[in-house]
């Protein structure tokens, strides 16, 4: 978001039902700024809000690619982990069509993730912390031009379940904001409220292990926390610190979906904010709501199309945004955006994944029907809607090109998880030894 979205990441791809786009040279980006129509709140005049200065969105055209084929398998319904879904050997890592530049970026991200990889319990059931030790030790000493050879020497590719991958995209947005409330900046950006309580239900029942809820104490009762509508109407007045003020409620809504971003301050400075937590309410993607209600025309089901509709229909748009009852709280960052592992994420290499199917910190090769998204990624983040095997959300960094690419990212193909060499043999040995909860898929 989760990456820039933090540990409770909210994903852009599903929320917007992003349609396919593609890579285009940076020269296609038109730099001349334009002034968009200001969003006017009820009872306000345009002069009371700061105009939103935005460059025209870059044109992102599709560069198609042919994915490597997955091995056809039948996966048992309801598999809750990669181990339960089953794994098969994939292609030789040396044969995967990754460039040296992709491999080097992946090596850097992998090495950064190693402390977490070696100490975290792998929820996928595939690896143990010690399994990653040799690769982690070697990753720190790879010479120039040797990154592809490093991955070929220390990793094996496996297919999880049917291997059928779906990838969306997210980015680090930049919006107009101010540290102090002033004319034109009146959308509060809240820090975590002092009365917001996290509850680990697994402490009360073994059947609820892994489940958590958020809310607040009201008398002797634990009740749900105010939703987006109530918060926007002032429910947090005096209960939560305001760390900054945004100029545009639509832009801030999408920054919440991303989970972190940059505030472009009136004096030209930049304030970085990142996900701290959210109110515990269920997340609803407005893109699906708009499609279901026929509000989007063909070709509009991207972030840019949705934003255009919200700006053209401000009152309906505010009501629609409030149907997403989830609300994100932020903290100021002094570093680059952090992923769910607590490490900085990098554009075009970091991705969000479901830790029950992909060990956090593990490299993944995505062979997709889009050339820009095909390559080596490292699972350093999670997302509220990134669930299940072979589901990924790719991070594209910051700026207009990253926004345009992420907002239209929707790619399908095959995912190959890269695990320490010997993992598949160990799991096969455990299976043949009679360990009933080990599932190694067969065609």
C-alpha 427/C-alpha 415 separation (Å) is 20
Write down the pLDDT at residue 9: 34
C-alpha 292/C-alpha 40 separation (Å) is 27
Closest of 32, 35, 37, 19 to residue 58, by C-alpha: 32
pLDDT tens digits for range 283-307: 999 988 999 999 987 767 677 789 9
Mean pLDDT of 375-380: 98
C-alpha 341/C-alpha 348 separation (Å) is 17
Q: How far apart are the first and last CA of the chain?
A: 35
Closest of 296, 263, 258 to residue 384, by C-alpha: 258
DSSP state of 27: G
* Pairing verdict, β 375-381 and 350-353: parallel
pLDDT tens digits for range 159-180: 999 999 999 999 999 999 999 9
Structural tokens at position 193: 């409220």
pLDDT tens digits for range 299-340: 676 777 899 999 999 999 999 999 999 999 999 998 888 899
Those residues with Cβ within 8 angstroms of residue 274's Cβ, 6 or more apart along the chain or in another chain: 4, 6, 259, 260, 330, 331, 332, 333, 337, 338
pLDDT at 42 over 70: no
Write down the pLDDT at residue 76: 81
Mean pLDDT of 371-397: 94
Q: What is the pTM of this model?
A: 0.74
Write down the pLDDT at residue 37: 29
pLDDT at 3 over 50: no
Give the per-residue SS3 of 144-197.
CCCHHHHHHHHEEEEEECCCEEEEEEEEECEEEEECCCECEECEEEECCCCCCE
């Amino acid at each position: 978001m989760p990456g820039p979205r933090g540990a409770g990441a909210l994903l852009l791809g599903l929320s917007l039902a992003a349609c396919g786009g593609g890579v285009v040279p940076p020269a296609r980006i038109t730099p001349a700024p334009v002034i968009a129509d200001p969003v006017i709140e009820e009872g306000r005049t345009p002069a009371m809000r700061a105009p939103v200065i935005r460059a025209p969105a870059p044109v992102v055209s599709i560069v198609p690619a042919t994915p490597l084929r997955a091995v056809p398998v039948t996966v048992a319904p309801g598999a809750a982990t990669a181990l339960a879904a089953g794994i098969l050997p994939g292609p030789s890592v040396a044969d995967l069509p990754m460039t040296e530049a992709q491999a080097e970026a992946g090596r850097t991200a992998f090495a950064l993730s190693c402390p977490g990889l070696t100490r975290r319990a792998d929820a996928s059931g595939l690896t143990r912390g010690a399994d990653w030790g040799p690769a982690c030790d070697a990753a720190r000493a790879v010479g120039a031009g040797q990154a592809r050879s490093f991955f070929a020497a220390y990793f094996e590719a496996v297919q999880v379940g049917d291997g059928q991958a779906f990838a969306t995209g997210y980015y680090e947005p930049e919006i107009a904001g101010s540290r102090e409330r002033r004319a034109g900046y009146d959308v509060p950006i809240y820090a975590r409220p002092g009365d917001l309580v996290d509850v680990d239900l697994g402490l009360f029942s073994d059947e609820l292990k892994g489940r958590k809820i958020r809310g607040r104490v009201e008398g002797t009762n634990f009740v749900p926390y105010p939703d987006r509508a109530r918060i926007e109407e002032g429910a947090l007045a005096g209960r939560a610190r305001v760390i900054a003020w945004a100029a545009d409620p639509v832009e801030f809504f999408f920054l919440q979906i991303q989970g972190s971003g940059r505030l472009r301050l009136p004096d030209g400075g930049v304030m970085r904010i990142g996900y701290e937590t959210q109110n515990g309410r269920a997340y609803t993607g407005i893109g699906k709501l708009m499609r279901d209600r026929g509000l989007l025309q063909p070709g509009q089901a991207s972030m840019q199309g949705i934003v255009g509709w919200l700006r053209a229909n401000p009152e309906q748009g505010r009501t629609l945004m409030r149907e997403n009852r989830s609300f994100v709280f932020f903290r100021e960052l002094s570093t680059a955006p952090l992923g769910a592992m607590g490490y900085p994420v990098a554009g075009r290499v970091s991705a969000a994944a479901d830790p029950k199917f992909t060990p956090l910190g593990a490299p993944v090769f995505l062979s997709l029907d889009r050339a820009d998204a095909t390559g080596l990624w490292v699972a350093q983040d999670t997302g509220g809607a990134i669930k299940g095997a072979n589901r990924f959300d790719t991070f594209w960094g910051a700026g207009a090109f990253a926004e345009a690419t992420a907002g239209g990212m929707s790619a399908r193909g095959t995912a190959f998880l890269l695990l320490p060499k010997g993992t598949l043999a160990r799991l096969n040995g455990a299976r043949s030894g009679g360990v009933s909860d080990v599932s190694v898929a067969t065609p």
